[in-house]
C-alpha cells in the first residue's frame, strides 16, 4: 500500500524550504525593526471562539472549519489566527501592558475548501496585530509595513484597495438599504447569498460567485453600494487614513465593494492584490476590528491587523538561490572525517562528508553533485603529514593547508 499526502496538503521539500525560510527571515527582520513581538498560539481552539469571533454568517464558520469533539468539548483547527491572538490577549491580561501592543505571528491554518492556486486546506499565514490605538495612524503603519515587506520580496504589480465599512451604528442603515436594493433580484443570487441576506447582507458584496458579482454591478444595486453612508466620525477616520497614506507616498484605490470575508471588521478594510496572479489575486488582507476584544469577553480595545498567505508569497517571491555547501570532506577514514567536520562547523562553515567512505572518485563525484565550493581531501597521506588538500571545485585549483587555515581559506 502506498501513502500520499491528504488532498489539500503539500510537502515543503528541501528545494523549496529555503525560500520559505528566506520569506520568514525577511518578515522577522522587518517586524523587529518596528517593535513587533512574535506570538505563537495553539493550532486548535474552542469552536465557539471562531463562531463568535469570525462570525456565524461567514463561509469559514458555515462550511470550512475542521471541527472535532474530544470528551464532549468541540475543538476546531484554526482557520485564521486573529481570534486566537485576541483570546491570548484577553487570557493573559495583555491589555494591562504599556500600549500599543504590537504582535506578529506565522504558522499553519486549516480550511476545508476546494484546493486552488496558492491556497490549500492546510495553508500558512503570517500576519500582525496592533492593539490599543484607535487613531488611523495604526491602520497606516499596518498598511505601510505590509507594502514594504512585499516590495522587499520583489513582488511586482501590487495594488492597494481600501474602504471604510463604518462602525456598527452607522452600518445598520446601510445594511437595510442594501437589502432593499437586492430584494427584487434575490431569487437570482446563489444559496449562500440568501443566507447572507438574512444574517449579514454586507457579506453579499464579498461573494465570489460570478453571477452574483454581475447582479451587484447592475445600476440599481451598484448605485446603493457606492452611496456614502458612514457617519461623521467614520468619515473623519477614513479621511485621516488617506492623509497618512499620502504622507507615506502609498498609492491606493477606493473599492466600495470591499468588505472582507470576516464579520469582525469595522471602519478600515484593505486588500493588496498582485496583477501577476489570476482571479485569486489577493496577497494580503486586513482591517480594523475594534469590537472583537470586547465581543470575546475582554475590555473595549481598538485593534487593527492583516494576514498574508505564505503559499501565494512563495509563488511570487524572487528569492536568491540556495546558499551552496562550503566544504565536502573526501576521506577513506569515516571517524577522522566526522571529527574534522565537527571541528570546522564550529567556525560557522557548512560541511558534509561521505558516511560510507566509498572510493575516492565516487566521493569527488558526490562533492560536485552537492554543489560544494571546496573539496577537502583527507586520506592516509594527509593523516601522516598533518596537511590537508583543499580543492576549489569551481576552478580546479588545489593547495595544501593545515586544519587551522581552513576557515580563512574557505571564507575568502
Neighbours of 301 (CB within 10 A): 22
As a whole number of angstroms, the distance between CA 288 and CA 303 comes to 6
Nearest to 263 by CA among 136, 122, 165, 193: 165
Which ranges constitute the DSSP H helices of 269-370?
292-295, 310-316, 334-345, 360-369
Residue 248's pLDDT is what?
95
As a whole number of angstroms, the distance between CA 26 and CA 247 comes to 25
Nearest to 39 by CA among 117, 91, 75, 3: 91
What is the rounded radius of gyration, in angstroms, for the C-alpha atoms of the chain? 27
**Domains recognised in the chain with CATH numbers:** 14-167+230-316 (3.30.930.10), 327-410 (3.40.50.800)
Residue 80's pLDDT is what?
92
Q: Go through 359-395 and write b for each residue having 16 or more CB atoms within 10 A of its CB, e for each that does not.
A: eeeebbebbeeeebbbbbbbeeebeeeeebbbbebee
Helix axes 14-33, 136-152, angle to 10 degrees: 140
As a whole number of angstroms, the distance between CA 287 and CA 270 comes to 6
Residue 136's pLDDT is what?
96
Are 349 and 411 in contact by the 8 Å Cβ rule? The answer is yes
DSSP state of 119: B
pLDDT (tens place) for every residue of the chain, 412 residues total = 888 988 888 888 988 888 899 999 999 999 999 999 999 999 999 998 988 877 665 666 767 888 889 888 999 999 999 999 999 999 999 999 988 999 999 999 999 877 666 578 999 999 999 999 999 999 999 999 999 999 999 888 899 999 998 888 887 788 888 888 888 888 888 888 888 888 778 888 878 788 888 888 888 788 777 777 888 999 999 999 999 999 999 999 998 888 776 677 889 999 998 887 766 678 999 999 999 999 999 999 999 999 999 998 888 887 777 788 899 998 888 888 899 899 999 998 999 988 887 888 898 888 888 888 998 888 877 777 878 889 998 888 888 988 888 888 887 6
Are 76 and 58 in contact by the 8 Å Cβ rule? The answer is no
pTM above 0.75, yes or no: yes
* Cβ-based neighbours of 377, under 8 Å, separated by 6 or more: 330, 331, 388, 389, 390, 391, 398
Residue 205's pLDDT is what?
81
CA 113, distance to chain mean position in Å, is 18
Residue 261's pLDDT is what?
62
Look at strands 327-331 and 374-378 and give their pairing: parallel
DSSP code per residue over 42-88: -SEEEHHHHHHHT-TTSHIIIII-EEEEETTEEEEE-S-SHHHHHHH
Amino acid at each position: 500500500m502506498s501513502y500520499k499526502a491528504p488532498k489539500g496538503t503539500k510537502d515543503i521539500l528541501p528545494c523549496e524550504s529555503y525560500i520559505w525560510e528566506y520569506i520568514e527571515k525577511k518578515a522577522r527582520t522587518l517586524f523587529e525593526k518596528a517593535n513587533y513581538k512574535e506570538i505563537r498560539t495553539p493550532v486548535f481552539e474552542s469552536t465557539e471562539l471562531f463562531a463568535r469571533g469570525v462570525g456565524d454568517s461567514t463561509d469559514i464558520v458555515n462550511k470550512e472549519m475542521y471541527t472535532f469533539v474530544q470528551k464532549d468539548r468541540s475543538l476546531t483547527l484554526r482557520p485564521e489566527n486573529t481570534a486566537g491572538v485576541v483570546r491570548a490577549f484577553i487570557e493573559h491580561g495583555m491589555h494591562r501592558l504599556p500600549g500599543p501592543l504590537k504582535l506578529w505571528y506565522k504558522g499553519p491554518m486549516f480550511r476545508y475548501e476546494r484546493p486552488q492556486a496558492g491556497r490549500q486546506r492546510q495553508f500558512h499565514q503570517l500576519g500582525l496585530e496592533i492593539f490599543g490605538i484607535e487613531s488611523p495612524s495604526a491602520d497606516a503603519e499596518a498598511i505601510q509595513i505590509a507594502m514594504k515587506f512585499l516590495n522587499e520580496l520583489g513582488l511586482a504589480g501590487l495594488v492597494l484597495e481600501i474602504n471604510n465599512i463604518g462602525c456598527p451604528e452607522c452600518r445598520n442603515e446601510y445594511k437595510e438599504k442594501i437589502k432593499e436594493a437586492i430584494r427584487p433580484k434575490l431569487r437570482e443570487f446563489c444559496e449562500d447569498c440568501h443566507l447572507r441576506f438574512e444574517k449579514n447582507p454586507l457579506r453579499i458584496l464579498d461573494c465570489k460567485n460570478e453571477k452574483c458579482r454581475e447582479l451587484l454591478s447592475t445600476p440599481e444595486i451598484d448605485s446603493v453600494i457606492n452611496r456614502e453612508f458612514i457617519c461623521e466620525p467614520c468619515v473623519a477616520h477614513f479621511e485621516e487614513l488617506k492623509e497618512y497614506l499620502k504622507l507615506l507616498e502609498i498609492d491606493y484605490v477606493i473599492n466600495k465593494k470591499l468588505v472582507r470575508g470576516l464579520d469582525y471588521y469595522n471602519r478600515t478594510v484593505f486588500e493588496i492584490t498582485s496583477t501577476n496572479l489570476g482571479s485569486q489575486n489577493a496577497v494580503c488582507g486586513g482591517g480594523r476590528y475594534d469590537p472583537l476584544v470586547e465581543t470575546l469577553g475582554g475590555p473595549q480595545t481598538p485593534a487593527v491587523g492583516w494576514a498574508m498567505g505564505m503559499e501565494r508569497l512563495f509563488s511570487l517571491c524572487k528569492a536568491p538561490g540556495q546558499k551552496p555547501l562550503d566544504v565536502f570532506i573526501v576521506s577513506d577514514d569515516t571517524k577522522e572525517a566526522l571529527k574534522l567536520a565537527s571541528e570546522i562547523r564550529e567556525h560557522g562553515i557548512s560541511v558534509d562528508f561521505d558516511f560510507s567512505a566509498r572510493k575516492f572518485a565516487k566521493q569527488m563525484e558526490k562533492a560536485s553533485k552537492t554543489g560544494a565550493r571546496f573539496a577537502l581531501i583527507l586520506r592516509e597521506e594527509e593523516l601522516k603529514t598533518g596537511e590537508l588538500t583543499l580543492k576549489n571545485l569551481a576552478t580546479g585549483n588545489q593547495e595544501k593547508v593545515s586544519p587551522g587555515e581552513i576557515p580563512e581559506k574557505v571564507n575568502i
